[in-house]
Amino acid sequence: MDPYTIDQTETGESQGLHALMRFLRVVNRHKLIVVGAVAAALFLGFVRYRQLPKVYESSAKLMVRQIQPDMVQNFKNYQMRTLATYGQLILSDQVLISTVANMEQRPPGFADLSHQSQWPDALRNMLSLSFDDKESILTITCQSVEAEMTVSVIRSLIAESSRFMEDFQRNEALETVQQLDAKREEVETRLFTLERQVLNARKESGDLAINTESEESHPLVQRVTHLNERLSAVRTKRIELESLLASLHALMQSGSDLTVAVQKAESVLGAAIGNQLPQNKHDDAQLKTLRLELEKAETELSTLRRHFGSGHSEIIRRESDIRSRREHLANAERESRERIRNGIRDPEVGNWLRNVVNAELMSTQQYEQALQADYDSVEQKALQLSERIANIQLAERETSTLHALHSSLLNRLNSISIEPGSGGFRAAVISEPLVPLKPSAPVLNRILAGFGFAGLAISLAVIYVMDLMDDRLRSPEEVREELGLPVLGIIRRIPENEVQQARIYVHKFPQTPHAECFRTLKTALTMAPVETKCFAVTSSEASEGKTTTTVNLAASYAQTGKRTLLIDADMRRPGLSRLLEVRGNGGLSEILRAESGIPEMCRERIVHTEVPMLDVLPCGPRILNAGMLLSMPSLADLLDWAVSSYDQVIVDCPPTLPVSDAAIVGRFVDSMLFLMNPDKTHRRSVVRAVDQLQSMGLKIAGIVANTSLAKEDRGYGYQYGYGYGYGSDYTYGHEDDDDFDTELDHAGKMVALATEPDSAEGKAA
């Protein structure tokens, strides 16, 4: 995994569940507060129950119906509106005032009210309404400190609401009748006036029986239509004659065939015009004579055949004569058709046809002028008549509307009844109110439940505030649950006289219980589920005893026969180098700046300590930018050489929150050991530091806790605990030796009292 990639596998839901479980554990620690708060709340609830007055409750059920409902509307909505309207009526000021005024004995407390305007609000506080829209049931409930008063109020309320509704309906019906009757008289007056106007208009129009529903039009209008049609036909004929005359004149001027003109004349003047042509008269007479002679000869032949045979000489002569006549007629018809095919070019025919067309044109023009004059006169009269007819039709439609309105008003007047119970609402009591035998309020269980819940909520709020103000990790279990990491060891203060005698405590006092605790911490690290051959030690802030713990832990490894190398990677405040007094021999900063020969430089700068098998690589001269130097590849080469040359490699790193050096070193080691000081470190600081390391993909073997206060039976076990507060900052940089001596004095008093993690215990088992 990329060490700079943030692990986002834990979702918001799991974080919320984790926070809830942690809060429940905090509540479990303070369960006595919860028990006390709930017990006190229950006691106060019982006292309150004894102080509250006893309230009695009675109810009545009414079935509400609306007389003559509008069935067009949705029936369910109609029922809901009916019940809601009747409920508003019952709770109206007028009904409530009348209810109280007509009661023989007024409800408790009403005698103290100075004015009737205060009665409705007081009575509403005693009443409640509920609706059952399925059955159209209205339930009226009354509460009072007197049992009999609940029944009296409900009965009086039902009676007064019914009386009010009857009066209201009667007054409303009378008012409606008066309004409708006035409207009816107004409509009748208007109707009579309008009918008189229609009658006068008919007389002015010639007393015509005009029927607006008939499809036949007025005779005058029909005459206008007829004249218009005739005028259009005459105009069309005139235009055709003018066109024919112009065409005939052009054909005669050019000597062209007049057949087309003759055909046009036949379509305009009739087919007989063709037979009246001078040329056609001679041909037709000749053909007619030949046909008559042929018909006569055939008739005579038919008569002779009844008396003579076919071989008779007279029959033969007559048949020969008929054949000759037929041939002559056929030749005459062929010659006539030939003349027609060759066209009509005779000037006499053209002049005759032009005279005929011209005479017809003049006659048509005179007829058109006469028709136009007659049409204009009749059209003016028709327009005037049409306007009068339109006014009559409008008046008749208005008359029909007024007739319908008048009939509707009469029907409405006949349907209104002012008798009692004839309109509006009708309510029937289906469940009479009964005098309650026991109070309905207060309810002891409800009061105790409410007070108990309030006590529980207050106690939880107090515990939550206490937890916010007391930002401490109180026990190894809480550390493990908060961080999700095992607690590998616990550090506590050792006697002052032993601290003054040795820098490396486990070497000077190897048989003490305190030294054994460091060896137990070493065992827990060895059995950790992560690789710990090369690990780094860090903390959240400075001055938490990290350096002293690291030195004694390294000495514990060396005492078991392992060649151990302790590297001081804290080049900003080199506490380890000062503690072991090895600052003047060069160290890590020089090796990291070298480009080659790292093993040789390491061998030259490694210092052997008083503890056999334990070597130390000092931090070396100070530099301005330790983070950049630690990021160089030389650190990886150095650690590879150290792992191959030693059995155990431990790197002492700066704190995590002030600088990023520990995170940089963590990329090159197998795992990290995180040290915290409950006397100083806030929970949020520890969580932030661990999250910062884990977000970069670094493996944390476990947590080591430093404690400095001794309290009985709480906290981190073995009859001691710790406490700490806010105020520490994250300032961390190059400081003087005198400043660091303070840290050494504080840290030198710490030794490890280690408890193996769950995993270690499991492996040992």
| Lowest-confidence pick of 436-445, 492-501, 678-687, 749-758 | 749-758
According to the model, what pLDDT value does residue 5 have? 36
Cα 543 from Cα 727, distance rounded (Å): 14
pLDDT of 283: 57
Region 664-671: mean pLDDT is 92
What percent of the chain is modeled with pLDDT above 70? 78
Task: Kindly list the structural domains of the chain, giving each domain's residue range(s) and its CATH number in brackets, ordered by start.
Answer: 12-52+442-468 (no CATH), 219-394 (no CATH), 474-764 (3.40.50.300)
247-298: per-residue pLDDT in tens?
877 877 777 766 777 767 767 776 556 555 655 555 566 667 777 888 888 8
In this model, does residue 193 exceed pLDDT 90?
Answer: no
**What is the three-class DSSP state of 560?**
coil
Q: How far does Cα 239 stand from its chain's mean position?
A: 76
Buried b (16+ CB within 10 A) or exposed e, 561-575: ebebbbbbbbbbbbb
Assess contact for 425 and 168: CB atoms under 8 A: no
pLDDT at 717: 46
In tens, the pLDDT along 526-582 reads: 888 899 899 999 988 877 778 888 888 999 999 999 999 999 988 888 878 888 888
Q: In angstroms, how far is the first alpha carbon of the chain from the final one?
A: 33
Asked whether the predicted pLDDT for residue 723 surpasses 80, the reply is no
Q: Which of 96-105, 215-224, 312-321 has the lowest mean pLDDT?
A: 215-224
pLDDT of residue 421 exceeding 80: no
Q: Which residue has the higher pLDDT, 717 or 373?
A: 373
d(CA 617, CA 579): 13
Residues contacting 350, CB < 8 A, separation 6+: 248, 251, 252, 258, 344
Whether the Cβ atoms of residue 178 and residue 186 lie closer than 8 Å to each other: no
pLDDT for res 285: 63
Does residue 694 register a pLDDT over 80?
yes
> Cβ-count burial of 480 within 10 angstroms (0-12 exposed, 13-18 middle, 19+ buried)?
middle
HEC sequence for 251-315: HHHHCCCCHHHHHHHHHHHCCHHHHCCHHHHHHHHHHHHHHHHHHHHHHHHHHHHCCCCCCCHHH
The pLDDT, as a whole number, for residue 448 is: 93
Q: What is the pLDDT of residues 619-660, one digit of tens each?
A: 888 877 888 888 888 899 999 999 999 999 999 999 988 888
pLDDT of 443 over the 50 cut: yes
Is beta strand 607-608 parallel, antiparallel or unpaired with respect to 127-132? unpaired
**Residue in the block written with tokens 């270690």:** 760
pLDDT tens readout for residues 332-345:
767 665 555 445 66
- Phi, then psi, of 723 in degrees rounded to 5: -150, 155
